[in-house]
Amino acid sequence: MKKSDNKLQVEDFLATKLRTFARLSERDLACLAELQAKPIQVKRGKELAHEGQAGHAAYILQRGWACSFKLLPDGGRQIITFPVPGDCVGLRSVLLRTSDHTFTALTDAVVSRVEAPKMMDVFNEFPQLGAAILWATSRDEAMVVEHLVSVGRRSAIERTAHFFLELRDRLQLVGLAMNGRYQCPLNQYVLADALGLSAIHVNRVLRQLRERQLLTFHQQTVTIHDQMKLKALAGYDCPDAMPVVIRDAATD
Amino acid sequence: MKKSDNKLQVEDFLATKLRTFARLSERDLACLAELQAKPIQVKRGKELAHEGQAGHAAYILQRGWACSFKLLPDGGRQIITFPVPGDCVGLRSVLLRTSDHTFTALTDAVVSRVEAPKMMDVFNEFPQLGAAILWATSRDEAMVVEHLVSVGRRSAIERTAHFFLELRDRLQLVGLAMNGRYQCPLNQYVLADALGLSAIHVNRVLRQLRERQLLTFHQQTVTIHDQMKLKALAGYDCPDAMPVVIRDAATD
DNA sequence: CGACGCTTTGACACAACTCAACAACCGTGG
DNA sequence: CCACGGTTGTTGAGTTGTGTCAAAGCGTCG
Cross-chain Cβ contact A153/B96 below 8 Å = no
Secondary structure, 3-state, B143-167: HHHHHHHHHHHCCHHHHHHHHHHHH
Contact present, A121 and A58 (Cβ < 8 Å): no
**Distance from the A228 Cα atom to the nearest Cα atom in chain B, whole angstroms:** 15
Please state whether beta strands B221-224 and B181-183 pair in parallel, antiparallel, or not at all (unpaired). antiparallel
Q: Residue B91: its pLDDT value, please?
A: 86
Using the predicted structure, report yes or no on whether residue A251 has a pLDDT greater than 60: no
**Distance from the A243 Cα atom to the nearest Cα atom in chain B, whole angstroms:** 8
Q: Which nucleotide is nearest to A154 (CA to C1')?
A: D17
- Among B101, B135, B196, beta carbon nearest to A96: B135
What is the pLDDT averaged over residues A7-33?
Answer: 87
CA distance A232 to A160: 13
**Distance from the B3 Cα atom to the nearest Cα atom in chain A, whole angstroms:** 35
Residue whose CA is minimally distant from D21 C1'? A200
Domains of chain B: residue spans and CATH: 9-148 (2.60.120.10), 154-237 (1.10.10.10)
For chain A positions 185-214, those within 8 Å of chain B (CB to CB) are: 195-196
Which range, of A196-205, A225-234, B42-51, averages the lowest pLDDT? Answer: B42-51
Interchain CB contact of B170 with A (< 8 Å):
no
Q: What is the pLDDT along chain B (252 residues), one digit of tens a residue?
A: 444 444 445 689 999 999 988 899 999 999 999 999 999 999 999 888 776 666 688 999 999 999 999 999 988 999 999 999 999 998 887 777 666 788 899 999 999 999 989 999 999 899 999 989 988 988 888 899 999 999 999 999 999 999 999 999 999 999 999 989 999 999 999 999 999 999 999 999 999 999 999 999 999 999 999 999 999 999 997 644 444 344 333 333
What is the pLDDT averaged over residues A31-59?
Answer: 86
Using the predicted structure, report yes or no on whether residue A243 has a pLDDT greater than 60: no
Q: Would you call B195 helix, strand, or coil by DSSP? A: helix
Cross-chain Cβ contact B120/A144 below 8 Å = no
Amino acid at the residue A230? L
> What is the pLDDT confidence band of residue A209, given thresholds at 50, 70 and 90?
very high
Could you give the C-alpha distances from B147 to A70, A152, A206, B29, B195, in angstroms and in order?
A: 11, 10, 26, 32, 8
Cross-chain Cβ contact A144/B146 below 8 Å = no
Strand D bases within 7 angstroms of protein beta carbons: 7-12, 17-22
Closest CA to B25 of B114, B128, B121: B128
**Distance from the A50 Cα atom to the nearest Cα atom in chain B, whole angstroms:** 14
Cross-chain Cβ contact A96/B241 below 8 Å = no
B204: CB within 7 A of chain D nucleic strand: yes
Q: Residue A63: its pLDDT value, please?
A: 94
> What is the pLDDT confidence band of residue A53, given thresholds at 50, 70 and 90?
low
Kindly list the residues from chain A whose CB atom is less than 8 angstroms away from the CB atom of residue B72.
149, 153-154, 235
Interchain CB contact of B139 with A (< 8 Å):
yes
Interchain CB contact of B144 with A (< 8 Å):
yes
CA distance A122 to A114: 10
Q: Residue B98: its pLDDT value, please?
A: 66
The alpha carbon dihedral of A235, B92, A130, A59 has a sign of: negative
Closest CA to B157 of B111, B107, B197, B109: B197
Q: Which residue has the higher pLDDT, A242 or A164?
A: A164
Kindly list the residues from chain A whose CB atom is less than 8 angstroms away from the CB atom of residue B131.
96
Q: Which residue has the higher pLDDT, B53 or A131?
A: A131
Contact present, B64 and B85 (Cβ < 8 Å): yes
User: Number of H helices and number of E strands within chain B?
Assistant: 9, 12
DSSP string, A183-211: E----HHHHHHHHTS-HHHHHHHHHHHHH
Cross-chain Cβ contact B73/A98 below 8 Å = no
Of the residues A138, A153, A245, the best mutation for testing chain B's interface (the one with the most B CB atoms within 10 Å of its CB) is: A153
Q: Which residue has the higher pLDDT, A54 or A11?
A: A11
Note the pTM of the prediction, 2 decimals.
Answer: 0.91
Give every CB contact of residue A233 below 8 A, 6+ residues apart in sequence.
Answer: A157, A158, A161, A214
Cross-chain Cβ contact B78/A149 below 8 Å = yes
Contact present, B185 and B65 (Cβ < 8 Å): yes
Q: What is the dihedral of CA B239, B244, B246, B251, to 10 degrees?
A: -90
User: CB pairs below 8 Å between A and B: how many?
Assistant: 112
Q: Residue B228: its pLDDT value, please?
A: 95
Give the neighbor-by-neighbor strand order of the sheet with B102-105.
B47-49, B102-105, B66-71, B77-81
